[in-house]
Chain A
Amino acid sequence: GAVVSQHPSWVICKSGTSVKIECRSLDFQATTMFWYRQFPKQSLMLMATSNEGSKATYEQGVEKDKFLINHASLTLSTLTVTSAHPEDSSFYICSAPWTSGFYNEQFFGPGTRLTVL
């Protein structure tokens, strides 16, 4: 199956700094990737759809200036949490669809644990 990686797997930063999280499709190309946020013991909340070569599409209530998304190539999307604050601490997960037959199956990265002090 297809593999999606994320880097870093965990990061601790000071309040006010920016953090970049990478999502890579290792053995397939992805023109679209999805970024999710998962709070403890809660479901995944879709934050935005990352589109290669164009602007990301953000879900309602997600601050686009706070969560910058860049999809620079067919295998890499980055999420930058700008001026991070403790309330941004969360588990961030990306996914990428891979075509298998007639359906695009989603493959998920292992997630990035962000802790903002």
Chain B
Amino acid sequence: EVQLVESGGGLVQPGRSLRLSCAASGFTFDDYAMHWVRQVPGKGLEWVSGISWSSGSVGYADSVKGRFTISRDNAKSSLYLQMNSLRTEDMALYYCAKDMGPVWRRASLDYWGQGTLVTVSS
């Protein structure tokens, strides 16, 4: 059974940093691209970032480019999102999601975690 478990969310002040993690199991992690998607409660989904199976290709939404960094450790079957210079508009539920293929541009997210909540407030 595919499982994606996010962690690392919490309350953080504007301008500070936070690192999200996603522990994957139930599939061969290094065969697939991975993504982070966020959702402000009551609002729509927003793609944040994607990374290919080998980390050779990454992509970011314009809203986080230069502030967030996606990475993965295939040996640990883990995905990460380093979030720096956080803003109040980054406050959301952050989902980790698996792609059906090895490259992130295909955007076929077939398994999702339950999300971890990030609150940005002073």
A binds B: no
